[in-house]
Amino acid sequence: MTATMDAARGTGPATAKVAGALGTVYVVWGSTYLAIRLMVEDMPPLVGAGLRFLAAGTLVGAALLVRHGLRALAVTRRELLGCTLIGLLLPAGGQGLVAIGENGGAPSGITALLIATVPLWVVCLRVLARERPPRRTCVGVIAGFTGVAALIAAHGLGDAFPAWAMAVIVLAGLSWALGTWIQPRLRLPKDPFVLVCYEMLTGGAALALIGLSSGERFDPAAYSAGSWAAWAYLVLFGSIFALSAYAWLLQHVSVSLVATYAYVNPLVAVLLGWLLLGEPLGPFTVLGGLVVIGSAAAVIAAEHKKPIERTTT
């Protein structure tokens, strides 16, 4: 029986549980862009992001140890190398570059819309690997990048949103797409939480080391309560609670339903940035954003595949 049929008959995952888990993924992951913007107001971006993932990875590892013992964390050398590569591409490359871009002036809502191009970048990587995606998929990709161009034109790459910050956000999306595309080709732990644990630990360590070596300093007393609150929110909610809800959804409902987070998150981020930070929401931003989100949705629907195995936002 499918999860939907079970829920309709009163068995399996109840509708309220599914709605609660989806709501958690929608709202929490959509709000992480706002939380990152608040975190980097005082914290250095790389060190702050690195410590976030180190803390989250440690907590996930501790939970695995308590529930299943030391053997739960046992991995082969090849699996550990795979986790490290994913950690460098997703937490470090994806989220680390987002923190740098937002620290440089990128609005949280526009950042989320640019990251929504991840499914489009994945298709580009497939083409480079000599795969032949369906025609509808290619049309969706072209439309999506047209929306990106509209977003760039709407903000003009001025002093408020420097060109380098825009480029960093685009690179973050590309890094996330590469990690998503390469993951099925790697030898990784079967337990997704073991994978996430090592991924966050290795990615977090890389971010912290790069930040410290580039001149960033960790000075806890100098950071405001707001920055610490945003950091704690990213650790507990963005990296643990929402991840648990996502993993539960993958086991109980259809992948197509879970995949809707990829184009709902940006809407949540744009609205939160507009409401709480006063980020601009002009007509070209709305139009470009809708094109990007709609194209991502069309690509996901055309592919009929699991879009992103899991995430660490």
Q: Which helix (H) or strand (E) is 245 found in, with range?
A: helix 242-252
Q: Using the 8-state DSSP alphabet, how is residue 223 labeled? A: S
Per-domain residue ranges of the chain: 3-303
Quote the pTM value. 0.82
Write the DSSP assignment of 99-129 as a string of letters: HHHHHTT--HHHHHHHHTTHHHHHHHHHHHT
Choose among 291, 296, 1, 299: nearest CA to 146. 291
Angle between helix 118-128 and 283-303 (nearest 10) = 50
Q: According to the model, what pLDDT value does residue 204 have? A: 96
Q: Using the 8-state DSSP alphabet, how is residue 202 labeled? A: H
Q: Quote the CA–CA distance of 194 and 58 in Å, as a whole number.
A: 11
Choose among 136, 114, 137, 110: nearest CA to 125. 137
Query: Could you count the other beta carbons within 10 Å of the beta carbon of residue 159?
Result: 7
Count of all residues that appear for the chain in the document: 313
Q: According to the model, what pLDDT value does residue 156 have? A: 58
Q: Kindly report the backbone phi and psi dihedral angles of residue 12, in degrees, each rounded to the nearest multiple of 5, phi listed first.
A: 70, -160
Q: Quote the CA–CA distance of 160 and 71 in Å, as a whole number.
A: 50
- The tens-digit pLDDT sequence of the chain (313 residues) is 333 334 333 445 578 888 888 888 888 988 999 999 999 999 999 999 999 999 999 999 999 999 999 999 999 999 999 999 999 999 999 999 999 999 998 888 888 888 888 888 888 888 888 888 887 888 888 888 887 777 766 665 555 678 888 889 999 999 988 988 888 889 999 888 899 899 999 999 999 999 999 999 999 999 999 999 999 999 999 888 887 788 777 667 766 677 677 778 888 888 888 888 888 777 777 787 788 788 877 777 776 544 444 444 5
